[in-house]
Amino acid sequence: MNRVGVVVFPGSNCEYDAVLAMETLGTTAELVWHSVTDLSGYDGIILPGGFAHGDYLRPGALARFSPVMDAVRSFANDGGPVLGICNGFQVLTEAGLLPGALQKNIGLTFLCQPTTLVVTSQRSVLTSGAQIDQELVVPINHFSGSYTCDDETYQGLRDNDQIVLRYKSNPNGSRDDIAGIANERGNVVGLMPHPERAMSTLLGSADGRVLLESFVAAHVAA
Amino acid sequence: MSTPESLHRALGLSDDEFGDIKNVLGREPNHLELALYGVMWSEHCSYKSSRLHLRRLPTTGPHVLVGPGENAGVIDAGDGIAVAIRIESHNHPSAIEPYQGAATGVGGILRDIFTMGARPLAVMDPLFFGELSDARQRWLVEGVVSGISGYGNSVGVPTIGGELTFDDCYAANPLVNVLCVGALPKERLVLGIASGVGNFAVLLGSRTGRDGIGGVSVLASAGFSGEDGATSIDDAKRPSVQVGDPYEEKRLIEACLALLDDGLVLGIQDLGGAGLVCATSETAARGAVGMDVDVTAVPQREPNMVPYEIMTSESQERMLAIIAPENLDAVSALCAKWEVRASVVGRVVEPVLDDEGNAVGMLRIRNGFDGEILANVPAKSLADEAPLYDRPRERPSTLDAVLADDPTLDEPEGSANDDLLDLLVDPAWVYRQYDSQLFLNTVVGPGRDAALLRLAGPGLPHSTRGIALSTDSNPRWCALDPRVGTALSVAEGVANLACVGAKAKAVVNCLNFGNPAHPSVMWQLSESIDGMAEACLALDLPVIGGNVSLYNESGGSDIDPTPVIGLLGVVDELVAPPPGWGWGEGDAIVLVGVRRALGVQPFPLGGSRWATKRGRRGGVISSFDAGSLRPTLDFVTEEIAVICAGGESDVTAVHDVSGGGIAGALGEMVAATSRGVVVMDLEHHGELFSEFPGRFIMATSNLDAFLTRAQASGVAVTTLGICEGDRLRVGSSIDLPVERIVVKRRDALEDALEVLG
C-alpha cells in the first residue's frame, strides 16, 4: 500500500495519529476532507477516531451523510481496504458498510484504558498477519463502544468468520466480547480499540503494529 | 429606579472607583461606559487586590519567551519549539452547574493556549471537593468529571493528570482548576495585539447570547433604566452559567491554527471573562491604538440584545482576530471550510491626542460603523488602569493556638496498618474517563508523580525531547503556614518532575483563596506569594503565568489557602519511559534525601493526611530546606534522565514521598507492582506518615553502585530494605498482605462514590 487516505470530518481528532502510524510503517498517508467525492489513487482508506460532526444525534449518524461516504462505499465495493477505528467504526455501522451498532458502555462512563484483545479471525485486512488466539494489548477510548446486533446478524458474523477481535475481559458490555468485525469480504474492518495508539513501547505497547502492518500489506482485491 | 449614583455600586464599583472613572473621562460616564468599567475593573479581570503582591514573583529567565500578563506564558523548549502554558480556575460556575462549569473551564483555557499560536496538547485538572460522605459532593464530583471528560475528549485534547483532594473546607465551594499546555513552532508565536490603522477586528466562532453576562444579576436587581437600553434587562433574561460546545471549539481551534499557518492573522485574542469588551480593549491597549466596535455587526443568538449585553456576554467558543482588509476574503473562505462564523465587528483606528499631547487609543462602541457613538473610553483605562489595592492584612490571632495543637507528639491510637489502608486511594475512576493518549505523546499518563509527554504534535519540528507536567498543592500545609506551605508545594512539584527525569523550567500558579476583605485572607495571599517567590528563586524557576481566584467562601467561612502550583519541565532526550513505581524481586529500597526535616520537629505530622484523617488540623510543618533540596532534586532528575535517554541504569523504581509520607509511598508502590517489600523499623508514626518534600523512595538492582553515585553527588541515602515476598512489612509497625493493599487502593474511590460496578 503506497498511499492511504485518512478521512477528516469536522470533529475528527485522531487523524494525525493515523497518519503518524502509517508513516511509521513506511506508507504515505494524506488527510482527505469529508467533502471529497473521489478516492481514486488511494490504496486504502482509514476513518479515524474522534467526534465526527460533534457526535450530534449519535456517533456517526451525521457523518454517514458527508459527501465522502458515497466515495468510501464505492471504494469498498471495488474491494478497497477500509479501516474504521473507534468513531470510524461507528460511522461504518451507521453508513451500513458494517452490520450492527455501537451503544453506550455498560457502565455509562467514558473509558480510556488498556485492553487485551484476542485475535479470532485472520480473514480480514486488519488481522491477516496476526495469529489466531494471539493476545494484543491495545487501548480503548470511547463512550459508545458496546457492540450490539440482532441474533440473525450475529449468527451471520459467526458463520462467516467476521468477528476478528474480541476483548479478553469485556470492558463495555459488548455482545460476545466483540471488539472488531469485518464485512463478509474482509476488506472493510471496524474496531473500537485504537491500534495506532499501540505502535511503540515508549507509549506502553507496540502490539497494534501487527494489525496496521496487515492493513498496509493489504491489496485491493480483484 | 436607581439613580446613577447607586448604579455604580450595583455594578460592583466603589464610590472612589466611580470618581476615578470620572477623572479618566473628564465627564460623567454614561450607563454603557459605566457597565464596561464595572466588568473590566472587577476583581476577576483586574486582579486589583492581588496585583501589588504578584509583582514580587520572579518572572524572567533566558528561556522565557512570554511572561505573565499575556494569555499564556511561553518558554523556549529547544529544537525550534516553544511551549505555552496557563492555569485557571472555574470554581464558582462549577459549584452551581458542575458539568457545564467544568466543561467551559476546559474550553476557556484551550482558547488561551491557541491564542498564542500553539496547538493545545494536554490538559490537567486539580479538583477539590468536600468529603464524599455527603451526597451533594458525590453529585459534584460526578458532574465535574463528566464535564471535563465530555468537553475535553470531544474537543480533542488529552487530559493527562491533575489532583483530587477531599476536605470539608470545600464542601460549599469546590475548586475546579484547569491547566493547559500547548506547543508551537517558535516563529509562529503571536500575541493579542491590535495594530495597523484600518485593519479589521474579526469575531470568529459562536454567536453571542445572553449567557454568562457579568454582573447582570446585579444590574437586574438594581433595575435601572437608561438610554442605552438596559431597561430591557429583566428577570426573564437572567444569565445562566455559560454552556459549552466542544464541537464548535474543535472547529475554532483548527480554523485559528490554519489562519495562523497561512499568515492571515496579525494578532488574536480569545473571548473569556468580560467577553468582547475585554478582548477589544486589551488588544487595543497592547497595540496603543484605538478601536471602533460596531455592536450591530456582532452575530446574536437572541433577539433584542442591548449593547451592554453584547459587549459583556461570556458566550463560549469565540475569538477576536486582527487582520488586514485585503485578507478578509481568504479568512472568510478558510473559516467557511471549518464551518466557523467570521464577522468584521471592529476596525483599528488612530489614537487621539489628549490635552498633554499623548496618544490615547480609544475604544468606541458604535451603533453601526458610521453610526452613533454609544461609548467612548480610553482602551488602556479599561484594560490596565483599574485601581490597585493594598488591602489590610493581618495574621490571624487564632493561629498560634492552632500551631500549638501539634499532633506530632500524640500517642497514636489504633494500628499503622489501618492508618495506611485508610490513606490509599487510586484516582483511576476519574482519569479513566479522560482521553489521556491523543496525539501519541503520552509516555507517563495520569495517576503518577508527573505526566510525561513526547514534545511532538501536528506541525511541530521534529524533536526527541519530552515535556513533563505536574500540579501540586497542599492546603493543609498552607493553612498552618501559607508562606512555607507554598514554598514546599513548589518543591514537591519539582520533585514530581524529577521522578520522570525532567528538569523544571517554569511555574504557573492558580491562587485559590477566600474573601479579600478578610485581613486574614489577604495575609495568607501575601505570605503565599512570598513563599512561592522564595522557592522559585532558590530553585531558579521563573513564574510565567497565573490566575487568582478570590471570594472562595461560604457563610463567612473561607476555604483553606489553596495555591496550586503548575510545573513545566523538559527532558532533553526521551526515547525510553522512566521506571515508574514497580520494582523487581530482590531490589534494594532506599530513601533518597534527608531523613529528618529541618524545623521544630524532625518528623512533623502537622498538616499531614494522617493527622487530618484524625481530625487534627493544627501543628507545625517542616521548614523549606533549599540547601538539601537542590542537590537531591538534581540527583534524582539526572538518575532518571539517563534512563529516559536510553541509558543503562540499576534504578528500577522511583516515587516521591508526598501525601501519606513514606508509608503512603510504599503502599502506592506495592499496589502498582503487586510485589511485597520488607523495610526496617522506622521511628514510629512520625517517620511513617510525616510529609515533607525532597525525599524519594527508589529501588535499585545494584545498591553499592547506587550508593556510590549518591555519595559523589553529596545526597543523603538511607537503605530501607529489600523487595521480596507478598507482604508490605515495615519493622514491627506495618504488616499487610499485598493483595489487601491492591484491593483497598483500587476500590476506595468507587466505594466512596457509591458507583455501581
Instruction: Work out how many CB contacts closer than 8 A connect A with B.
Output: 88
Q: In this structure, are residues A171 and A182 in contact, taking their beta carbons and an 8 Å threshold?
A: no
Q: In this structure, are residues B417 and B744 in contact, taking their beta carbons and an 8 Å threshold?
A: no
Contacts of B458 in chain A (CB under 8 A): 16
The β-bridge relationship of strands B503-512 and B543-549 is parallel
**CA A52 vs CA B150, B339, B470: distances in Å:** 14, 13, 31
Q: Cell match 518534600: residue?
A: B693
Q: Which three cell numbers stand for residue B612?
A: 487530618
Under DSSP, is residue B184 helix (H, G, I), strand (E, B) or coil? strand
Q: In this structure, are residues A75 and A103 in contact, taking their beta carbons and an 8 Å threshold?
A: no
Please tell me if residue B447 touches chain A, with a CB cutoff of 8 Å: no
In angstroms, rounded to a whole number, what is the distance separating the alpha carbons of residues B385 and B406? 46
Q: Cell match 529567565: residue?
A: B61
Give the model's pLDDT for residue A1.
86
Bridge partners of residue B700, in order along the sequence: B588, B651
Tell me the backbone φ, ψ of residue A177, rounded to 5 degrees: 60, 25
In angstroms, rounded to a whole number, what is the distance separating the alpha carbons of residues B448 and B441? 16
For residue B684, give the amino acid letter: H
- Please report the ipTM that was assigned to this predicted complex: 0.96
Is 50 exceeded by the pLDDT of residue A50?
yes
In angstroms, rounded to a whole number, what is the distance separating the alpha carbons of residues A167 and A105? 14
Min Cα distance B643 → chain A (Å) is 12
| Chain B interface, best mutation among A202, A209, A212, by max B CB count within 10 A | A202
Bridge partners of residue B454, in order along the sequence: B466
Q: Which three cell numbers stand for residue A5?
A: 487516505
For residue B421, give the amino acid letter: L
**Nearest Cβ partner of B433 from A14, A54, A110?**
A110
For residue B651, give the amino acid letter: V
Contacts of A203 in chain B (CB under 8 A): 437, 440-443
Residues whose CB falls within 8 Å of the CB of residue A145, separated by 6 or more in sequence, listed in order: A86, A102, A105, A111, A171, A172, A174, A192
Give the model's pLDDT for residue B216.
35
Min Cα distance A210 → chain B (Å) is 17
Min Cα distance A222 → chain B (Å) is 35
CB atoms within 10 A of CB B76: 18
Min Cα distance B442 → chain A (Å) is 6
Q: Which three cell numbers stand for residue A154?
A: 450475529
Known catalytic membership, residue A142 = no
Q: Cell match 491557541: residue?
A: B114
- Which residue in A has a C-alpha nearest to residue B646's C-alpha? A202
Residue B258, CA atoms < 13 Å, CB-side half-sphere: 16
Residues of A within an 8 Å Cβ radius of B:
10-11, 13-14, 16-17, 20-21, 33, 50-51, 53-56, 107, 109-113, 139, 141, 143, 194, 196-197, 199-204
- Which superfamily, per CATH, for A3-217? Class I glutamine amidotransferase (GATase) domain (3.40.50.880)
Per DSSP, helices labelled H in A98-171 are 151-159
**CA B623 vs CA B492, B538, B600, B627, B686: distances in Å:** 13, 14, 8, 11, 16
Give the model's pLDDT for residue B412.
75
Please tell me if residue B251 touches chain A, with a CB cutoff of 8 Å: yes
| Chain B interface, best mutation among A55, A113, A203, A209, by max B CB count within 10 A | A203
Does the beta-carbon distance from A109 to B153 stay under 8 Å? Answer: no
Give the model's pLDDT for residue B409.
80
Please tell me if residue B153 touches chain A, with a CB cutoff of 8 Å: yes
DSSP annotation string for B707-739: HHHHHHTT--EEEEEE--SSEEEETTTEEEEHH
Q: Which of B538, B553, B574 is nearest to B441 (CA)?
A: B574
Contacts of B246 in chain A (CB under 8 A): 51, 54
In chain A, count of helices (H) and strands (E)? 5, 11
Q: In this structure, are residues A189 and A124 in contact, taking their beta carbons and an 8 Å threshold?
A: yes
Mean pLDDT by 10-residue block, N- to C-terminus, for chain B (757 residues)? 69 92 95 93 89 96 94 96 96 90 95 94 98 95 97 97 95 96 93 90 95 51 36 42 88 95 93 91 94 97 93 93 97 97 97 90 96 96 93 96 91 86 96 98 97 96 97 97 98 98 98 96 98 98 96 91 98 97 95 92 93 92 93 98 98 96 97 95 88 96 98 97 96 96 96 76
In angstroms, rounded to a whole number, what is the distance separating the alpha carbons of residues B23 and B712? 65
**Nearest Cβ partner of A54 from B154, B437, B439?**
B154
Contacts of B251 in chain A (CB under 8 A): 10-11
Please tell me if residue B526 touches chain A, with a CB cutoff of 8 Å: no
What strands, in cross-sheet order, belong to the sheet with A44-47? Answer: A28-33, A3-8, A44-47, A82-85, A188-191, A178-182, A163-167, A111-119, A135-142
Q: Which of A139, A183, A178, A199 is nearest to A17 (CA)?
A: A199
Contacts of B757 in chain A (CB under 8 A): 107
**Nearest Cβ partner of A50 from B156, B437, B443?**
B156
**Nearest Cβ partner of A20 from B146, B440, B443?**
B440
Cα of first residue to Cα of last residue in chain B, in angstroms, is 57
Under DSSP, is residue B504 helix (H, G, I), strand (E, B) or coil? strand
DSSP assigned state of B447: T
For residue B170, give the amino acid letter: Y
Q: Between residues 551 and 610 of chain B, which touch chain A (CB distance below 8 Å)?
A: 574-577
Measure the CA angle with vertex B258, ends B253 and B261; round to 5°.
130
Q: Where are the domains positioned within chain A?
A: 3-217
Q: In this structure, are residues A99 and A83 in contact, taking their beta carbons and an 8 Å threshold?
A: no
Does the beta-carbon distance from A16 to B439 stay under 8 Å? Answer: yes
Q: Which of A23, A32, A31 is nearest to A2 (CA)?
A: A23
Q: Which three cell numbers stand for residue B217?
A: 444579576
Tell me the backbone φ, ψ of residue B8, rounded to 5 degrees: -65, -35
**Nearest Cβ partner of B432 from A10, A55, A112?**
A112
Strands (DSSP E) found in B223-356: 267-270, 290-294, 318-323, 342-349, 352-353
Known catalytic membership, residue B44 = yes
Helix (H) or strand (E) holding B588: strand B588-592
For residue B191, give the amino acid letter: L
**Nearest Cβ partner of B149 from A21, A110, A196?**
A110
In angstroms, rounded to a whole number, what is the distance separating the alpha carbons of residues A151 and A141? 27
Residue with the bigger pLDDT between A59 and B757: it is: A59
Q: Which of A82, A89, A125 is nearest to A213 (CA)?
A: A125
In angstroms, rounded to a whole number, what is the distance separating the alpha carbons of residues B634 and B629? 8
Residues whose CB falls within 8 Å of the CB of residue B316, separated by 6 or more in sequence, listed in order: B104, B107, B108, B206, B211, B212, B242, B243, B244, B245, B248, B249
Min Cα distance B249 → chain A (Å) is 9
Known catalytic membership, residue A94 = no
**Nearest Cβ partner of B154 from A55, A113, A196?**
A55
Catalytic residue among A34, A86, A142, A213: A86
